[in-house]
Structures are given as structure tokens and as C-alpha cells.
Chain A
């Protein structure tokens, strides 16, 4: 629920690769669960993508029926439509089920991850040299424990599921579009670099401000 664009909140750390590695290290515990999430996300997306294509069959049938009506040679074939509607209904049910299983498992991963990260910080506090706390204010440390951990968990949750669903969606929809009309598919693909460029532009400008925002929140904490 609206914490700003996910990518924007990651401030540029000194050692991005190392940090990322550590983060994935924490995630290793959840391998199996994440695999379930990924499979479910892919399945749910595939069923979701097949939907419109089949839905299109109904529209086509209706249109053909109308043409037949104008010509006076027949009408809409309701048997075909009924059959297609039933197929679609089951597809939608399956897609919803997979989608729910996926988020259910992912919530578990995200929350356990948050928990273990907080636990690790609380234990670390008691091991760090005292000098560390001369440089960091209590407010900052508190902000790591609550705000920052929340942000990581939220982004992680979104990233993994979104990465999977988006990837499957892109590939699936591309295949679907190609089966409908390769010319139209081409046009849609050509638009991508343009929008990508726009997004990059906005992100590169906004990143700095997201970083500042987190920092100033720390400052506000410190004032107390």
C-alpha cells in the first residue's frame, strides 16, 4: 500500500554487491518456500494470461454471429459461448488459487525474514564496540530496527513476487500477442525502450531524494 516506487527507496550503499550478497545469505534459509512462491507465481500468471485470449474467442464468435445476422444466414452460436465461458471460469478459479498460495507463502518468508533481521540487529547491538554509538545516535539505530527493516522486507516481498509475475507475464503476453498478430506485437515491443528510458530518467532523478528522505527521518529521530 503505497510506500513510493519500490526501486526508489534503495539508497546507494558503499558496497552494494557485498550488501546484496549478505541479504541473499539471510534468504538462503527460505529456499524451498521461495521456490514454491516462484512456481505458484508463474502458474497463476500463465492462467491469467491465457484468459484474455480465450475471452477473445467469445468476442470473435459474437462478432461472427452478428455478421451472420446481418447477412440473414444465422445468428450467434450460444453453445460455443457457453462452453468457452465455463472453461474460462475454471481458469480464473485456478489462477486465483495459485495467486493466493503464492502470497500466503511469501508473507511467511517476508515476516520471518524481518524477524530474523531484527533479532540479528538486537544481538549485534550488544556486541558492537561502544565507540560505534558515539557516531550513531539512538534515533538512527532505532530507525534501522523499525523503518529500514520494514523497507527491506517490503521491497523484498514485492521484488521477488513482482519479478516472477512480471517476467512470466512479459514472456506469456509476448507469445500470446505473437499468436494473434506479429505486427501488433512488434509495435507494442517498440514502445518498451521509450517507457524504460522515461522510467530510468525519473528514477535517477528521484533516487537522491528518497535517500535524503530516509536520512532526514533519522535526523528528526535524533532531535529527541
Chain B
């Protein structure tokens, strides 16, 4: 996985922006439960009152409360309330209609939050003090008991009536009541204080239920706004994530493709074509999806989880252990599944390769399969892999599907735990109901994000298997590399191909395919290579364009060792016609222009003529525009050979190599082609590998190969005389008369 991390570099900025958006999204998501808790705590439970300290209070109420406060407290609140007299009523009348009938005290506007909290606390304590005092002195009197009991709605006029009685109460009693009040838990104090505040508001004519509605609507609108911001952030993250994923996918795919292009035959032996296909498509798609997931969810999870924990601990720290427990259970569950499933996932990837391989073999060997009637065999072979894939996938998916129900169960269980122990905490008045609800939500968030983080461990192995398979391709260095300082061609030896003491064996093989090969092919001459099957003919010509490197000795083209020039430069010198004339999908013209894009129509037609291809090309309706299907299955073997010969000729290079390229042609076409070729490329070096003596008997130089060694070099006539191997080949193919002619 790390091996591919460099691909992230070019998307660094986009990733950073995406993460910034994630933070915005997290902040929005985290703020929502907070507001919901406000709606429950303040909007519903406290009738929309945000603070105990009243914004305005009647003079009577103010005086009344003062009676239950300590000296310093009175001082403190008096400094922070302004007396609004009846004369200034115009200023307040809209907000507090009752100002017409009596004086009010209004809270100053420029107070800090700390001051307001202090004020609220003073009011709450004095409210509780009042209740304590009243319940003490009312132990005897019947009607007052009611007033103190029904704290939900206090009749202030009753309280004011009692004021004169209070004047007679000893100071001590009030102080004692206040000390008791201060011991009351804060959330209780708060609730009691709010009941009074509500009554004070009602007294001066404020519509409290309207205030409540207003608060709820306002908070709701805030939530909506935050939601919208969150959505925008989330869409942006999705957008950026997809772009990054697709971009990285494209870059990797390009690199893999380029790498594969540079592979020599040795590397292709390591990777099957089917495996390379899976690596460029499935595996890269896998990585691409993983990246998108990682950005959209996995990066989001830790931000959200830590944020939720912080928000939660602001509400209460008592219940954090429940979350730790849930996370612990999830770790256990995932570790268990991980251990079971991981090895199987690796197997599935291999099996997918295998399924591709078997299907591909069936496809490319379609003709053979049908001709030999081995359909059943192929189907059974496929069936075997197919059922293996089914079994393994079943196991993986069944194990994985344990995940969701268990997770749901853990999550629901967490809710139960929070509620059960939260109820306790509420009974002890250490938290409020709304806070408990927020904690439940935060709890779910933490567990969810924990889940997503652990998803990394589930997805990572799959992605990392894919990443490794891609890295394997990217890291395979082609055994054939260009030199750092390419040498210049020897001008006097243009068109020369020389083999000096060349020995070759395939990497890892014991046997030498070629041994001590020496010859020179000169321009204007035809050099032919002939020998039995497996004598090393094709290997010799493959060494010229450096498809392999020699084991010992050197191959020189234009007087320079092929290892000391760039492959680009080398391949420019050679028009190569391989044994299997592979054409690419496209048209005839696009194939002929493959080695020389700028070739004129004239040149193409001339080369086609030399290659004896004109006749069948022009018999096609679209002529040069006729389509070639993939694998060139819509042209015959002979046509394929002639087209690939024409393709090499269009390249117009000084050296032409024909690797058994006339085998599929009939004798007449073969001889016509050779004649035309000799004429067309008078100054070129021609190297022809052949099985048929008739194809090469007019060559200036014939090399006879036998088991990797040169059995003789010379003209047809010379060889007939002094090379027994050549004579054997020739005698099996030529008539008595022809042999005699040659010997003369």
C-alpha cells in the first residue's frame, strides 16, 4: 500500500481541501445534538427561558428577592439592574406592557456571560431560600403550604402578601435557609429559579409561551442552517474524493500500462496476460474505491469520534465507560472476523485471476476446442474454479454479514446502558434530560466513527492485496534497459548486423540455445538462416532487436553493440516481421502505418504491392479502410503474413528481418514476393529465417543451424558441397535435378 502512496502527492492540495471540508462537516454534525439538547432543556423543560436571572423584573419582585440575599449579593445585583421608572415607560412599554402600572428593574445590556451566570446563581439561590423559609414558617399555617408546594406555578401576589410576615423573621433563620439552598444540586436550583423567573415575566406582562415558541423556532432555524452548511461540505468532500480517486486510478493505470510496454519477453513469462488484465482493471478499481471511501468516511471518522467525545465530556464524564465498553466489544468482533476472513480474501483474488485465465484460454483456443470437441473438458475446468470461487466467497460474505447485526446490537445495547445509568445520574441531579439525549447521540457517533476506523482494517487488506499486485508490476524492472550514454553509429557500417561469439540461454535454463555464433550480414545482401525446428533460428533474430540480451558475446548493429544504443534508435533500424504476424484492431491502413505514421498513401500502396497484398486488399469494399478485428481474426493466415510484411516495409528501415514470414504463402506468391522484395530493397540488409530451401537458395549467404551451433555458412551451391546438414535438408525438399544443378 505504501508503495503507491506517492500517487497521492499530486493530489495533496485537493486532499487537504477535502479534509478541511470534513472538519466543517464534523463541526456541523457535532453542533446538532447540542442544539437538540438546548431545545429539550431550555425550550421544553424550562419553557424557553435561557437564564434564571430575569431580563426585567417588577420592583415588588426585586425587593422581595432581595430579602433572601446576602449583603454582598444585593450589592452585586443592584449594580447590574437599572431601575426603569414609570416616567421612562415609553422605552420599555413594548417589551414589558406592565411598566404602565409599576416600576421595573431591567438587566443591563452590556454584561458578560460570567456576570449573567453569577446573577442567575444568586437568583436561583434566593428562590430556593425563599421556598425553604416559607415551608419552615408555614409548618403551622395551612394555606401557605399550598403556595410552596405548587412550585410549578407561583402566585406572586400571595408571596407579596406574606412579605410583611417575613420582615419579622429573624435574620438567622434566613441565613440558615440560604446555606441549605446552596447545598441543593445545581440543576435543581436552576429549575426552581426558572419557575420564579417565569412568574416574574408573567407579572410584567411578557408572553412566556410566545417566548418559548420563539426560542424553539430560532434554535430549529439555526439547526437547519448548520445542516445546510454540513451538506455543502459533505458534497464538496464527495466531489473532491471522487476526483482524487479517479485521478489516482488513471495515473496508476497509465503507469502500469507503460511499464507493461517496457517489459521484455522474460517479464511476460512471469505475469500471464489474464493476470495483467485483472491488475489494470479490477485491482485498480479496488484501490480507487478504497481511496474514495478513505476520504469520505475513514478520514471523517476520527474527526467525528474525537469531536463527539469532547462534546460528550462537556455534558458529563460519568457515562464514558459505556462507550469504551462498546468500542471494546467492536474491536473483539472485528479482530475475530478479520482473522477468519483475511486469508480467504487473498485466495479469492487468486481465484479471480484463475477464472480469467481459464476463460481466456478457452476464448483464444476457441477453434482448437471446437475442432477437438473438448468443450466438456473446458467447461469442467471452468466449473472447478467457479465453484471454488463460490465456496470461498460464501464463507467470506457469511462471516462478514455477521458484522451488521452484531454492530446494530452493540449500538442498541449502548443506548440501553446510557439510559439505565443516565437515569441514575438524573436522579442524582448530576445531568439533565436533554443532556442525556445528547449523550446518547454522541455515544452513537463515537461508536459509529470507531466502526468506520475499524473498517480500515476490513477494507485495508483487500485494497492492500490489490496494491501489492499493482506494485509487483510497477516494481518489476525490465531486464533490458537503455544505456546511460548511447554510442554513435559507425557510419561505415550502416546496415551491418554482426554476431560475435554469441551464446544464449534463457534465464534459469541449463541448456544453451545458441552457442558461439559468428556471422556478418551486409547491406544489399540477403542472409538466410535455415535449420531444423528448435535449432535456434528464431532466437537468433530475436537477439537483433534486443528482445533478449545475449548471455555471452555481442550483437552489433551499424557497428555498435545493441546494448550500447537506445532501444528506440535500435528499433528504428529494423523492419521486423515476426513469426506470428500479429495485427492490431483498426483498419488495414492503420496497421500498415503502425511503424511510420507519416507514410504517404503512395508508399503504402507500393509496399503492399511488394508484399503481394494489393490484390486481396483491393478486393475488399473499403480497400485500405477495411477493418481488422481484434486478433485479426477476419483475415487469413497468409493475408496476415503479407500485411505484416508490408507493415515492416513501410517503416523504410535499413535492415529487414523476416522470421519464417513466408510459411503461409503458396510457392508462387512466395517467389513473386521474394523477387519484388529484392528489387524494392536493393540497398537493405535482408535477414530471412526459413524452413523451405526454395525460399532462400538464392541468398548471398546461408547460415545452417544445428542444435544451436552453426553447421555451415555459404551459398546454396557451396553448402550443398560441403555441409551435410544442409544437404540433408535440401535433399528432403528439392528434386534430384535441382540438387544436381546446385552442385555444379
Residues of A within 8 A of B (CB): 1-3, 44, 48, 51, 55, 58-59, 62-63, 65-66, 69-72, 75-76, 78, 81-82, 85, 88-89, 92-93, 95-97, 99-100, 103-104, 106-108, 110-112, 114-115, 118-119, 122-123, 125-126, 130, 133-135, 137-139, 141-143, 145-147, 217, 220-224
State whether B630 touches A99 (Cβ < 8 A): no
The complex places the Cα of A147 from the Cα of B277 at a distance, in Å, of: 12
Contact with A along B221-257 (1 / 0, CB 8 A): 0000000000000000000000000000000010001
In the assembled complex, the CB of A25 is this many whole angstroms from the nearest CB of chain B, namely: 20
For A93, what are the chain B residues with a Cβ–Cβ distance below 8 Å? 409
A-B contact pairs, 17 of them (CB 8 A): A2-B289, A58-B419, A59-B419, A62-B433, A63-B433, A69-B188, A103-B397, A107-B394, A118-B389, A119-B383, A122-B378, A123-B375, A125-B359, A133-B366, A145-B356, A222-B585, A224-B260
State whether B188 touches A135 (Cβ < 8 A): no
Of the stretches B5-13, B94-102, B423-431, B640-648, the one at the interface is: B423-431
Of the stretches B52-60, B323-331, B400-408, B512-520, the one at the interface is: B400-408
**Which 10 A-B pairs rank lowest in CB-CB distance, beginning with the nearest?**
A103-B401, A99-B405, A96-B405, A115-B390, A126-B375, A122-B382, A107-B397, A96-B409, A137-B630, A92-B412
State whether A81 touches B420 (Cβ < 8 A): yes
The complex places the Cα of A28 from the Cα of B71 at a distance, in Å, of: 87
State whether A118 touches B386 (Cβ < 8 A): yes
Interface centre among B273, B360, B375, B416 (most CB of A within 10 A): B416
For B276, what are the chain A residues with a Cβ–Cβ distance below 8 Å? 224
The complex places the Cα of A59 from the Cα of B439 at a distance, in Å, of: 13
* Besides the known contacts A59-B436, A69-B429, 11 further A-B residue pairs in the complex with CB atoms under 8 A apart: A1-B293, A65-B427, A75-B427, A78-B423, A100-B401, A100-B402, A103-B397, A103-B404, A103-B405, A220-B280, A224-B260
Closest Cβ neighbor of B634 among chain A residues: A134
In the assembled complex, the CB of B470 is this many whole angstroms from the nearest CB of chain A, namely: 14
Q: Does B109 contact A (CB under 8 A)?
A: no
The complex places the Cα of A142 from the Cα of B630 at a distance, in Å, of: 14
The complex places the Cα of A107 from the Cα of B437 at a distance, in Å, of: 37
State whether A122 touches B379 (Cβ < 8 A): yes
In the assembled complex, the CB of B135 is this many whole angstroms from the nearest CB of chain A, namely: 10
Interface centre among B195, B359, B432, B458 (most CB of A within 10 A): B359
Q: Does B415 contact A (CB under 8 A)?
A: yes
Q: Does B154 contact A (CB under 8 A)?
A: no
For A134, what are the chain B residues with a Cβ–Cβ distance below 8 Å? 629, 633-634
State whether A66 touches B426 (Cβ < 8 A): yes
The complex places the Cα of A93 from the Cα of B405 at a distance, in Å, of: 9
Q: Does B413 contact A (CB under 8 A)?
A: yes
State whether A119 touches B277 (Cβ < 8 A): no
State whether B408 touches A71 (Cβ < 8 A): no
Interface centre among A48, A96, A220, A223 (most CB of B within 10 A): A96
State whether B629 touches A142 (Cβ < 8 A): no
Kindly identify which residue among B152, B420, B426, B629 contacts A65, using a CB–CB cutoff of 8 Å: B426
For A147, what are the chain B residues with a Cβ–Cβ distance below 8 Å? 281-282
Interface centre among A65, A114, A118 (most CB of B within 10 A): A118
Known contacts A114-B393, A118-B386, A142 near B408 by CB under 8 Å = no
Q: Does B274 contact A (CB under 8 A)?
A: yes
Kindly identify which residue among A104, A107, A137 contacts B585, using a CB–CB cutoff of 8 Å: A137
Q: Does B218 contact A (CB under 8 A)?
A: no
Known contacts A2-B293, A112-B390, A72 near B151 by CB under 8 Å = yes
In the assembled complex, the CB of A144 is this many whole angstroms from the nearest CB of chain B, namely: 9
Known contacts A62-B436, A63-B433, A96-B409, A110 near B397 by CB under 8 Å = yes
For A222, what are the chain B residues with a Cβ–Cβ distance below 8 Å? 585, 630
State whether A66 touches B433 (Cβ < 8 A): yes
Q: Which of B335-394 contact A (CB under 8 A)?
A: 352, 355-356, 359-360, 362-364, 366-367, 369-370, 375, 378-379, 382-383, 386-387, 389-390, 393-394
Kindly identify which residue among B281, B366, B369 contacts A217, using a CB–CB cutoff of 8 Å: B281
State whether B356 touches A111 (Cβ < 8 A): no
For A221, what are the chain B residues with a Cβ–Cβ distance below 8 Å? 277, 280-281
The complex places the Cα of A114 from the Cα of B355 at a distance, in Å, of: 13
For A135, what are the chain B residues with a Cβ–Cβ distance below 8 Å? 629
For A51, what are the chain B residues with a Cβ–Cβ distance below 8 Å? 412
The complex places the Cα of A39 from the Cα of B150 at a distance, in Å, of: 54
In the assembled complex, the CB of A68 is this many whole angstroms from the nearest CB of chain B, namely: 11
In the assembled complex, the CB of B389 is this many whole angstroms from the nearest CB of chain A, namely: 7
State whether B426 touches A62 (Cβ < 8 A): yes
For B260, what are the chain A residues with a Cβ–Cβ distance below 8 Å? 224
Contact with A along B273-296 (1 / 0, CB 8 A): 110111011100100010011000
State whether B415 touches A55 (Cβ < 8 A): yes
Q: Does B501 contact A (CB under 8 A)?
A: no
Closest Cβ neighbor of A126 among chain B residues: B375
Number of A-B contacts (CB under 8 A): 195
In the assembled complex, the CB of A213 is this many whole angstroms from the nearest CB of chain B, namely: 9
The complex places the Cα of A1 from the Cα of B386 at a distance, in Å, of: 22
State whether B362 touches A122 (Cβ < 8 A): yes
Closest Cβ neighbor of B357 among chain A residues: A142
Known contacts A3-B289, A100-B405, A70 near B427 by CB under 8 Å = no
State whether B406 touches A96 (Cβ < 8 A): yes
The complex places the Cα of A72 from the Cα of B152 at a distance, in Å, of: 10
The complex places the Cα of A17 from the Cα of B716 at a distance, in Å, of: 71
State whether B355 touches A111 (Cβ < 8 A): no
State whether A1 touches B459 (Cβ < 8 A): yes
For B280, what are the chain A residues with a Cβ–Cβ distance below 8 Å? 220-221, 224
Kindly identify which residue among B292, B355, B405, B413 contacts A89, using a CB–CB cutoff of 8 Å: B413
Contact with A along B184-207 (1 / 0, CB 8 A): 000010011001000000000000
Kindly identify which residue among A55, A81, A145 contacts B355, using a CB–CB cutoff of 8 Å: A145
The complex places the Cα of A75 from the Cα of B45 at a distance, in Å, of: 16
State whether A85 touches B277 (Cβ < 8 A): no
State whether B405 touches A70 (Cβ < 8 A): no
Q: Does B680 contact A (CB under 8 A)?
A: no
The complex places the Cα of A70 from the Cα of B363 at a distance, in Å, of: 81
Q: Does B78 contact A (CB under 8 A)?
A: no
Closest Cβ neighbor of A63 among chain B residues: B433
State whether B585 touches A115 (Cβ < 8 A): no
Q: Does B176 contact A (CB under 8 A)?
A: no
In the assembled complex, the CB of B236 is this many whole angstroms from the nearest CB of chain A, namely: 15
Kindly identify which residue among A59, A62, A82, A104 contacts B401, using a CB–CB cutoff of 8 Å: A104
Q: Does B149 contact A (CB under 8 A)?
A: yes
Contact with A along B543-566 (1 / 0, CB 8 A): 000000000000000000000000
In the assembled complex, the CB of A79 is this many whole angstroms from the nearest CB of chain B, namely: 12
State whether B273 touches A146 (Cβ < 8 A): no
Q: Does B580 contact A (CB under 8 A)?
A: no
State whether A220 touches B253 (Cβ < 8 A): yes
Known contacts A92-B413, A137-B630, A130 near B401 by CB under 8 Å = no
The complex places the Cα of A108 from the Cα of B273 at a distance, in Å, of: 32
For A44, what are the chain B residues with a Cβ–Cβ distance below 8 Å? 405
For B277, what are the chain A residues with a Cβ–Cβ distance below 8 Å? 139, 142, 221, 224
State whether B363 touches A133 (Cβ < 8 A): yes
State whether A76 touches B363 (Cβ < 8 A): no
For B383, what are the chain A residues with a Cβ–Cβ distance below 8 Å? 119, 122
In the assembled complex, the CB of B126 is this many whole angstroms from the nearest CB of chain A, namely: 17
The complex places the Cα of A220 from the Cα of B276 at a distance, in Å, of: 11
The complex places the Cα of A45 from the Cα of B97 at a distance, in Å, of: 55
Q: Does B398 contact A (CB under 8 A)?
A: yes
The complex places the Cα of A89 from the Cα of B433 at a distance, in Å, of: 22
Known contacts A88-B416, A146-B282, A115 near B397 by CB under 8 Å = no
The complex places the Cα of A217 from the Cα of B286 at a distance, in Å, of: 13
For A107, what are the chain B residues with a Cβ–Cβ distance below 8 Å? 394, 397-398, 401
For B429, what are the chain A residues with a Cβ–Cβ distance below 8 Å? 69
For A111, what are the chain B residues with a Cβ–Cβ distance below 8 Å? 390, 393-394, 397
The complex places the Cα of A199 from the Cα of B378 at a distance, in Å, of: 45
Known contacts A72-B151, A147-B282, A126 near B427 by CB under 8 Å = no
The complex places the Cα of A217 from the Cα of B284 at a distance, in Å, of: 11
State whether A114 touches B390 (Cβ < 8 A): yes
For B401, what are the chain A residues with a Cβ–Cβ distance below 8 Å? 100, 103-104, 106-107
